[in-house]
């Protein structure tokens, strides 16, 4: 440990991804760590999914004797010669015909089997016979020895992942065990004084430690034996000792977090002290503070702390090694071409891994980038795929074709309904119900506000948009904007009633600042949190402010934008704001106070071709059928009316 390593190391030295991998692999290769880590012999009952370390040659033939292939009688082919329907032959039981069941060995001297269905028992002169109506060629209905496998034949090659039928074939060729590569032993060490275990009581600053759960699951998926070590606080010696202990009994140790260059980032120094630090910092987004090294003949890595960075760097850097150790090639991820819906900027010099959702809208597969940085794990939960933007590119324009590595099968993407627009909690409820339906559908909804949703429909990027845009002139919801943005551009839509909902002021529990109405937003002691431009709630607010002659610039916090009702409620809950405008459901969800101001309509806008599609049929049925119980579930949330749910309000 150097003095410097204990001080605040501000700069990493990011190297390009391919150089980082090459450098690490060179060192791993020199240590014999790029190939399988030995062999072990295990019983076949435990070998499913394991990879053969040696070829399997048949010890015995299968069958290992000539076997009857039918229930019937073993005969000599010669004795059956000349038998026909018109001149049947009798074969004497016990001499010329011996009863056999399927699998029985062919009795000595016999060379064919006659099926029982093709015989008749006959008693004649005190003896028993069978009558046959056809001759049997030699070896008819006989499974000759070695029909399946002949002793010494290759049954399964080395480096083969064992499937159920392979296990059967290995057993059938005389083995009860098989030589396979050992499962890699992987230890995940979570470090950080701020970390608490899953299920702990939380105070501000506590971070629930779930990366080891996730990274461990990734290693398990890759076939490893995983040890999730207890959390170690940010203490150089404590972490070093835990790593050193883990290296004793594991093939790879992953230290989670502390891989950057902050005052409590010890990973690189620890790798350096215990072994060989090869890489500290890779020019990838997300994930650049990665540490790659080795120590005591084992692989040792530092994984960044942000969950998306953690998951993606593990996948990108560690998983290929885990596969190599098992003699497996990394399965190629299937890819598709899709049209990017938004311009995406990408930093020159960094390989950028962009999470996207995919949707089949009409004939086009569209890819929508997911918002959120390396801390937004939901972006990885919701992602359908990843677009890799190489380091020499500055990104892509909207409408460009991009190659997407799929994270779920294309067939399930084909059955996904893409909603872009205003967010409402009832869409989550709808999504959950849809997945339980038969036929099943997924509803993928991006929360961008009503106006952006309608623009997405204009560009053909979504199947439907939730919208609650009040037209100030007509007092109507949605129709004016639809005419202007969609109808005039040749996009014909159905305006479908969905929910009525209460919009109002979301306030801290007990309303400590005694806010009563919109006018209170002008007060100096009050910080407001706003919705983004284009959101229906924002339009409603601006309309109401204009009616009251209030200048928005006078409202403290008017410029602070959140993108969902729940985010507004969260801002109020946390004390970051004193009041926001939103729906009752959001206030209720976070146990906040609520003063209703308006009752508004939240409709679904659906282009006619999707409205009539087989894809949307289950969604429409769910919305319309009172029996399905969806409307009741919505009303149970409180603050919602469902009188117009499923009603066609207009065709535009």
Subset of residues 272 to 331 that bind its own copies, contact rule: CB under 8 A: 305, 307, 311, 329, 331
How many chain residues interact with its own copies (CB under 8 A)? 120
Are 496 and 650 within 8 A, CB to CB? no
Distance from C-alpha of 458 to C-alpha of 477, rounded to nearest angstrom = 18
Q: How many CB atoms lie within 10 A of CB 85?
A: 7
Sequence-distant (≥ 6) Cβ neighbours of residue 420 within 8 angstroms: 368, 445, 446, 448, 452, 453, 456, 457, 461, 462, 465
For residue 10, which of 254, 281, 205 has the smallest C-alpha distance? 281
Closest CB to its own copies among residues 225, 244: 225
Per CB under 8 A, 431 contacts its own copies: yes
- DSSP of 554-609, one letter per residue? GSTTTT-EESSHHHHHHHHHTTS-SEEEEEHHHHHHTT-EEEEEEEEEEEEEEEHH
Output the smallest distance, CB 37 to its own copies, in A: 16
Residue of the chain from 82, 157, 390, 629 that contacts its own copies (CB under 8 A): 157
Alpha carbon dihedral 468, 472, 475, 478, in 10-degree steps, equals -30
Closest CB to its own copies among residues 393, 532: 532
Q: Scanning residues 80 to 119, which ones bind its own copies (CB under 8 A)?
A: 101-105, 111, 116-117
DSSP 3-state of 406: strand
Over the window 383 to 422, marking each residue x when it contacts its own copies by CB under 8 A and - when it does not, the resulting string is --------------------------x-x-----------
Q: Scanning residues 344 to 373, which ones bind its own copies (CB under 8 A)?
A: 372-373
Residue of the chain from 91, 114, 149, 418 that contacts its own copies (CB under 8 A): 149
Output the smallest distance, CB 122 to its own copies, in A: 16
Over the window 49 to 68, marking each residue x when it contacts its own copies by CB under 8 A and - when it does not, the resulting string is x-----x----xxxxxxx--
Distance from C-alpha of 468 to C-alpha of 300, rounded to nearest angstrom = 53
DSSP 3-state of 482: helix
Residue of the chain from 78, 241, 394, 432 that contacts its own copies (CB under 8 A): 432
Closest CB to its own copies among residues 470, 583: 583
Per CB under 8 A, the segment of 17-25, 89-97, 191-199, 481-489 that binds its own copies is 191-199
Closest CB to its own copies among residues 3, 203: 203
Per CB under 8 A, 139 contacts its own copies: yes
> DSSP class of residue 104?
P
Residue of the chain from 95, 428, 599, 647 that contacts its own copies (CB under 8 A): 428
Q: Which H or E element spans position 499?
A: strand 493-507
Are 344 and 389 within 8 A, CB to CB? yes
For residue 62, which of 170, 177, 176 has the smallest C-alpha distance? 170
Per CB under 8 A, 573 contacts its own copies: yes
Residue of the chain from 32, 126, 204, 549 that contacts its own copies (CB under 8 A): 204
Distances from the Cα of 351 to the Cα of 15, 20, 382, 478, angstroms: 11, 12, 21, 42
Output the smallest distance, CB 64 to its own copies, in A: 6
Closest CB to its own copies among residues 244, 589: 589
Residue of the chain from 90, 544, 576, 652 that contacts its own copies (CB under 8 A): 576
β pairing state of 335-340 and 401-406: antiparallel
Backbone conformation region of residue 257, classed left if phi is above 0, alpha if psi is from -120 to 50, else beta: left
Output the smallest distance, CB 165 to its own copies, in A: 4
Q: Scanning residues 447 to 486, which ones bind its own copies (CB under 8 A)?
A: none
Residue of the chain from 80, 96, 140, 211 that contacts its own copies (CB under 8 A): 211
Closest CB to its own copies among residues 63, 184: 63
In a 13 Å sphere around the CA of 316, the CA atoms on its Cβ side amount to 27
Sequence-distant (≥ 6) Cβ neighbours of residue 135 within 8 angstroms: 77, 80, 81, 82, 83, 84
Cis peptide bond upstream of 439, omega within 30: yes
Q: Extract the runs of DSSP E, i.e. beta strands, from 269-415.
A: 276-280, 284-285, 291-295, 298-303, 335-340, 344-345, 351-361, 364-369, 385-389, 395-396, 401-406
Hey, CA dihedral for 551, 556, 558, 564, is it positive or negative?
negative
Per CB under 8 A, the segment of 122-130, 167-175, 387-395, 497-505 that binds its own copies is 167-175
Residue of the chain from 15, 69, 132, 583 that contacts its own copies (CB under 8 A): 69
Per CB under 8 A, 11 contacts its own copies: yes
Over the window 242 to 271, marking each residue x when it contacts its own copies by CB under 8 A and - when it does not, the resulting string is ------------------x-xxx-------
Distance from C-alpha of 115 to C-alpha of 269, rounded to nearest angstrom = 78
Per CB under 8 A, 147 contacts its own copies: yes
Residue of the chain from 364, 403, 435, 484 that contacts its own copies (CB under 8 A): 435
Q: Scanning residues 13 to 52, which ones bind its own copies (CB under 8 A)?
A: 44-45, 48-49
For residue 248, which of 216, 222, 274 has the smallest C-alpha distance? 274
Residue of the chain from 25, 31, 88, 146 that contacts its own copies (CB under 8 A): 146
Closest CB to its own copies among residues 156, 485: 156
Q: Scanning residues 537 to 566, which ones bind its own copies (CB under 8 A)?
A: 560, 562, 564, 566
Residue of the chain from 570, 581, 583, 616 that contacts its own copies (CB under 8 A): 570
Output the smallest distance, CB 206 to its own copies, in A: 8
Distance from C-alpha of 326 to C-alpha of 384, rounded to nearest angstrom = 28
Are 629 and 636 within 8 A, CB to CB? no
Sequence-distant (≥ 6) Cβ neighbours of residue 186 within 8 angstroms: 216, 219, 224, 225, 226, 227, 250, 251, 252, 253, 254, 322
Per CB under 8 A, 638 contacts its own copies: no
Output the smallest distance, CB 268 to its own copies, in A: 15
Distance from C-alpha of 435 to C-alpha of 579, rounded to nearest angstrom = 35
Per CB under 8 A, the segment of 137-145, 486-494, 532-540, 599-607 that binds its own copies is 137-145
Per CB under 8 A, the segment of 124-132, 272-280, 378-386, 460-468 that binds its own copies is 378-386
Per CB under 8 A, the segment of 81-89, 147-155, 483-491, 644-652 that binds its own copies is 147-155
Closest CB to its own copies among residues 394, 428: 428
Are 447 and 469 within 8 A, CB to CB? no
Output the smallest distance, CB 431 to its own copies, in A: 6
Residue of the chain from 214, 244, 628, 633 that contacts its own copies (CB under 8 A): 214
Per CB under 8 A, 221 contacts its own copies: yes
Output the smallest distance, CB 14 to its own copies, in A: 13
Are 356 and 416 within 8 A, CB to CB? no
Distance from C-alpha of 531 to C-alpha of 581, rounded to nearest angstrom = 8
Residue of the chain from 26, 124, 152, 487 that contacts its own copies (CB under 8 A): 152
Distance from C-alpha of 486 to C-alpha of 373, rounded to nearest angstrom = 32
Residue of the chain from 33, 37, 91, 167 that contacts its own copies (CB under 8 A): 167
Distance from C-alpha of 451 to C-alpha of 43, rounded to nearest angstrom = 62
Residue of the chain from 159, 393, 532, 613 that contacts its own copies (CB under 8 A): 159
């Amino acid at each position: 440990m150097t003095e410097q390593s204990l001080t605040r190391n501000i700069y990493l030295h990011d190297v390009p991804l391919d150089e980082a991998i090459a450098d690490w692999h060179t060192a791993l290769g020199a240590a014999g760590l790029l190939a399988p880590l030995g062999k072990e012999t295990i019983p076949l009952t435990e070998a499913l999914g394991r990879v053969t370390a040696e070829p399997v040659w048949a010890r015995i033939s299968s069958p290992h004797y000539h076997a009857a292939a039918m229930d019937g009688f073993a005969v000599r082919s010669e004795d059956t010669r000349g038998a026909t329907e018109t001149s049947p032959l009798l074969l004497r039981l016990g001499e010329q015909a011996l009863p056999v069941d399927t699998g029985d060995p062919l009795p000595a001297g016999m060379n064919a089997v006659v099926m029982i269905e093709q015989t008749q028992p006959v008693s004649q002169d005190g003896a028993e016979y069978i009558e046959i109506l056809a001759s049997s060629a030699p070896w008819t209905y006989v499974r000759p020895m070695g029909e399946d496998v002949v002793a010494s034949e290759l049954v399964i090659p080395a480096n083969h992942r064992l499937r159920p039928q392979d296990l059967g074939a290995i057993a059938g060729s005389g083995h009860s065990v098989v030589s396979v590569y050992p499962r890699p032993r992987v230890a995940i060490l979570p470090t950080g004084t701020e970390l608490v275990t899953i299920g702990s009581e939380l105070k501000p600053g506590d971070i629930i430690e779930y990366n080891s759960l996730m990274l461990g699951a990734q290693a398990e998926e890759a076939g490893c034996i995983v040890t999730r070590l207890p959390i170690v606080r940010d203490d150089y010696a404590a972490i070093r000792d835990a790593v050193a202990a883990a290296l004793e009994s594991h093939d790879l140790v992953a230290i989670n977090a502390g891989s950057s260059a902050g005052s409590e980032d010890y990973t690189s120094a620890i790798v350096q002290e215990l072994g060989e630090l090869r890489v500290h910092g890779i020019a990838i987004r997300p994930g650049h503070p990665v540490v790659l090294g080795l120590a005591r003949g084992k692989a040792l890595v530092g994984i960044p702390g942000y969950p998306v960075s953690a998951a993606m760097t593990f996948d990108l850097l560690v998983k290929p090694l885990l596969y190599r150790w098992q003699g497996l090639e990394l399965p190629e991820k299937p890819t598709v071409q899709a049209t990017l819906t938004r311009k995406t900027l990408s930093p020159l010099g960094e390989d950028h891994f962009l999470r996207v959702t995919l949707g089949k809208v009409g004939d086009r597969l569209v890819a929508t980038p997911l918002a959120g940085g390396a801390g937004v794990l939901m972006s990885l939960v919701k992602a359908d795929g990843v677009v890799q933007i190489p380091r020499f590119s500055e990104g892509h324009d909207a409408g460009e074709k991009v190659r997407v590595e799929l994270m779920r099968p294309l067939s399930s993407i084909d059955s996904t309904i893409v909603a872009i627009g205003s967010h409402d909690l009832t869409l989550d409820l709808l999504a959950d119900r849809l997945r339980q339906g038969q036929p099943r559908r997924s509803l993928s909804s991006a929360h961008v506000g009503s106006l952006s949703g309608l623009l997405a429909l204009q560009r053909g990027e979504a199947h439907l948009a939730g919208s609650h845009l009040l037209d100030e002139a007509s007092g109507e919801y949605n129709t004016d904007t639809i005419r202007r943005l969609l109808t005039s551009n040749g996009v014909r839509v159905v305006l479908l009633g969905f929910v009525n909902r209460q919009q109002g002021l979301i306030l801290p529990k007990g309303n400590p600042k005694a806010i009563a109405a919109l006018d209170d937003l002008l007060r100096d002691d009050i910080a407001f949190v706003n919705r983004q431009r284009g959101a229906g709630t924002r339009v409603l607010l601006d309309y109401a402010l204009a009616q009251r002659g209030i200048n928005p610039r006078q409202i403290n916090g008017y410029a602070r934008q959140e993108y969902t009702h729940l985010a507004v409620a969260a801002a109020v809950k946390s004390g970051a704001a004193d009041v926001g405008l939103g729906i009752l459901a959001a206030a209720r969800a976070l146990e906040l106070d609520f003063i209703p101001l308006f009752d508004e309509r939240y409709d679904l806008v659906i282009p006619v071709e999707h409205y009539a599609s087989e894809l949307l049929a289950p969604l429409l049925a769910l919305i319309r059928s009172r029996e399905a119980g969806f409307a009741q579930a919505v009303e149970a949330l409180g603050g919602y009316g469902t009188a117009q749910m499923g009603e066609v309000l207009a065709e535009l």
